Structure 1
Amino acid sequence: MTAAPLMPDSTHPCRRRKSYTFFWCSLGVYAEALLFLLSHLSDACELPRPFEAMELKGTPKLFYAVGEKIEYKCKKGYLYLSPYLMIATCEPNHTWVPISDAGCIKVQCTMLQDPSFGKVYYIDGSFSWGARAKFTCMEGYYVVGMSVLHCVLKGDDEAYWNGYPPHCEKIYCLPPPKIKNGTHTLTDINVFKYHEAVSYSCDPTPGPDKFSLVGTSMIFCAGHNTWSNSPPECKVVKCPNPVLQNGRLISGAGEIFSYQSTVMFECLQGFYMEGSSMVICSANNSWEPSIPKCLKVTFY
């Protein structure tokens, strides 16, 4: 026996599909459902904000009923610190109590010791994973090894430094470079202490053109096998006779113009100077700046 099909109740307004009554009736049903939903949501808690150190267990929901509890766990790289609670409850005022990630602390590396004749500084203010430790030495000593170590996370709850701590050793220098046509003091020493200095000088020449010392005459041991400057050169430097048309030398006149010889000029009456009135003989056998010009004064 076949059951008779259920026929829509034609007396109900929402069954009159060929009229506008159906539309308004349906809208009313949706409105009632929405009001029902809002009345329940107004008495609920939203999902708490994310935390740096902990995360929610299980699948999160958009809304939680009053009295409903949620449970957290520490994220990777963090350890649980008792007696902090990892459970929060949705209160009637729509807040979670208690709610804090203070119970999860960042995994730390072992605290490093100051090296002899040196110090260790934690650049980021801590020695937890992600932090950096910088080693420095007292003056007269230098770092042997890695000067900066990084605290690296291992697995979920371990951390280690990415290298061995360095140590500090005294600064010494090998003898400074020898130079052609010259020498330096303390040639009998094989190892130089920190800040120990030598002075360079040029050899004499048999002819009239003497060697000039070009560069710094004194250098000192400034770091491990590092001298404060490059050694100087000993070479003959001769600049051409400085001639200024429509002008004259007022100081520095001579027959030979060697390294760092200085001369000054002035122009004759009726002429004005273009350029520098003072020039110096440079290491490349030329005057610097270039010799000036004396130009005739023109009246318009």
Structure 2
Amino acid sequence: MEPLRPSWIPRLSALLALALGHCGVPPRLSFAELQDEFKVKEIFPVGTSVKYSCRSGYQRVPGQSSTLTCVNESVWSEPKVFCQGKSCGHPGDLANGKVHIKDLVFGSNITFSCDEGFRLVGHNTSLCVIHETRVAWNHDIPFCEEIPCHPPPDIKNGEHSGDPNTHYTYGSTVTYICNTVPRGTDPFSLIGEASIHCTSDEDQNGIWSGEPPQCKVVQCKNAEVENGRKLSGFGPSYSYQDAITFGCEAGYFMVGSHVIICQANNLWSPPIPTCEKIPQSVCGAPPFPNGKMLPSKPQYVTGDGITLTCEANYVLPDGAKSMTSHCKGNNVWDPSVQTCQRVCPDLVISHGRVKSGGKPHYVVGDHVTIECYAAYTMPGEPKIHCTDKFKWEPVIPECRLRVYIIIIICVIVIAAGMLTVTLVYKKFFSQKGSYQTDENGQEACILNAKVPDETEASALKN
């Protein structure tokens, strides 16, 4: 260790040395220290050299001098970096995680992190420090373990898909089902999400994604609407998520929702609607399933208009997506409100067309015949129909280029390539000439070169 000096001594020494043409105390370097023989001096004549030794954790840089010299201006020569930090070496890979490294030399710090679903066991950082006579990382590399979850909770009147011997870790999923009951007994309904999965909290502890569902008997009372009727959901008993759709008798309009659903609390939601007497000048909101009504109100007066638009994949019977109707009073709409129908996907046929049965939109039962354009062939069935699953059967055929057309195209491409090669050869590599017999009777190839006339020959000589 270098001896401690009062802070004013180096400054005084430097001023004195400058006045006498000498150098003061040599500079203190972060990576090296003066050798002992130079530590006791505070004034050095011009031309004096001092030597440094690398500090602990550093080693010499080959080819760099560790000497500083007091030069004519009474200053020390500029020090080079002649000592560099020793390397602790790569700590090794971290299974299921990453090692974040900026440098590996003395004083460097590295950090560790785990992949999603794993947590770190051990220190998340390590520092390259001096250890005895060498440098080493001050912490061993940690390891990443899978985040575990406790076994999923059991539920009353039901069970989950897990196994008692299973080790649950991050990402594990279980699904719950309710117990079956004897015939004639009210069944259990699954209330809540059927599946939960193992995830983690902020502290990397395994937790389940939510509360497990419940299995309970749900019974909603039969619902009736005075001056109304059921359009669907005729009962007589109703369980969880069962629905009823209502309509009003002629001369009445509905206040509330047309559709109610049985909830887990054994009650209907929204509340059961009512059918109110329609004044002569009033129309109730017409039922319009699978569509939207604008403006949407419980009732309308004579002259009010509404626009009804079908949802995606639905159209009106005439193929239109929307219609407008007006209240004529006494719950009469003109024109009468139509019902949206589910349609099959639009037909997209590459290199072909619909030969017969074509329509803007297709509903269940529609048949079409497809044909391909000239030069294309159809490997599939040309006649298809829209099924009650709202898809085409057989599948929409594909028009493919005929084999002989492909062969002709290939021949044309090959011929064009050969012609191009021939023309290039004749232009750049072939020379025209003729054969003549010389005086010895031997044939010689004479190039057909142009012989210059007298004027051209004279110009060439000049």
TM-score (norm 1): 0.51
Q: Is the 8 A contact 1:53 1:74 kept in 2?
A: yes
Match for residue 190 of structure 1 among 166, 178, 182: 166
Distance 1:260 1:133 in 2: 61
* Secondary structure, counterpart of 1:120 in structure 2: strand
**Aligned partners of 2:129 and 2:135 also within 8 Å:** yes
Cα 1:169–1:87 change in 2 (3 A) is same
The answer as to 2:209 corresponding to 1:229 is: yes
Q: 1:71 aligns with which of 40, 51, 57?
A: 51
Aligned to 1:4: none
**1:117 deviation in Å?**
5.5
Q: 1:93 aligns with which of 73, 89, 106?
A: 73
Paired residue for 1:107?
86
Name the CA shift for 1:151/1:200 in 2 (closer, same or farther; >3 Å): farther
1:162 aligns with 2:138: yes
CA shift for structure 1 position 77? 2.3
Q: What pairs with 1:243-258 in structure 2 (closer than 5 Å)?
A: 250=256, 258=265
**Equivalences for residues 134-283 of structure 1 within 5 A:** 134-136=111-113, 146-155=123-132, 157-166=133-142, 175-187=151-163, 190-191=166-167, 195-201=171-177, 212-213=191-192, 217-222=194-199, 226-232=206-212, 234=214, 250=256, 258=265
Whether the 8 Å CA contact 2:56–2:130 is kept in 1: the answer is no
1:226–1:260 CA distance, 2 compared to 1 (3 A): farther
Partner of 1:246: none
Return the offset for 1:229: 1.7
CA distance in 2 between partners of 1:128 and 1:45 (Å):
34
Q: Say if 1:235 and 1:188 are closer, same or farther in 2 by CA, change over 3 A.
A: closer
Alpha-carbon distance in 2 for matches of 1:105, 1:126: 13
Residues 1:184 and 1:97: Cα distance change in structure 2 (over 3 Å)? same
Assess if the C-alpha contact under 8 Å between 2:152 and 2:208 holds in 1.
no
Structure 1 pair 131–182 and aligned structure 2 pair: CA distance change class (3 A): farther
Match of 2:110 among 110, 116, 133: 133
What SS class does the counterpart of residue 41 from structure 1 fall into?
A: helix
Contact 2:120 2:143 in 1 (8 A): yes
Higher relative contact order (CA 8 A, sep 6+): 1
**1:144, distance to aligned residue in structure 2 (A):** 6.0
AA in 1 matched with 2:51: E
Structure 1: unaligned runs, 5 residues or longer: 1-36, 239-248, 265-300
Aligned partner of 1:59: which letter?
V
User: Which has the greater radius of gyration?
Assistant: 2
Other-structure match for 2:346: none
Does structure 1 conserve the Cα–Cα contact (< 8 Å) formed by 2:180 and 2:188? no
After TM superposition, list the pairs within 5 Å mapping 1:16-35 onto structure 2.
Answer: none
Deviation of 1:174 (Å):
6.4
Q: How far apart in 2 are the matches of 1:229 and 1:162?
A: 38
- Quote the offset at 1:127 in angstroms: 1.8
Aligned AA (2:93): D
Q: Show CA shifts across 1:14-39 (max 9, x none).
A: xxxxxxxxxxxxxxxxxxxxxxx879
Query: What is the match of residue 81 of structure 1?
Result: 61
Aligned partner of 2:100 in structure 1 is 121
Change beyond 3 A, Cα 1:218–1:108: same
Deviations 1:167-201 (A, max 9, x none): 56677766423234543234477245763422235
Other-structure match for 1:27 = none
Structure 2, unaligned runs of 5 or more: 1-14, 219-254, 272-462
| Distance in 1 of aligned mates of 2:66 and 2:268 | 83
Q: How many residues align?
A: 212
Q: Distance in 1 between matches of 2:16 and 2:129?
A: 48
- What residue in structure 2 maps to residue 55 of structure 1? 33
Shift of 1:79: 2.2
**Aligned-pair CA distance for 1:89:** 0.7
- Percent identical pairs in the alignment equals 26
- Do the aligned partners of 1:212 and 1:258 also contact (CA within 8 Å) in 2? no
Contact 1:176 1:227 (8 Å CA) reproduced: no
Letter in 2 for 1:104: C
Superposition CA RMSD, Å: 4.7
CA distance in 2, matches of 1:39, 1:129: 36
Q: Distance in 2 between matches of 1:254 and 1:176?
A: 31
Contact 1:87 1:98 in 2 (8 A): no
Q: Please, what TM-score do these two structures have when normalized by structure 2?
A: 0.35
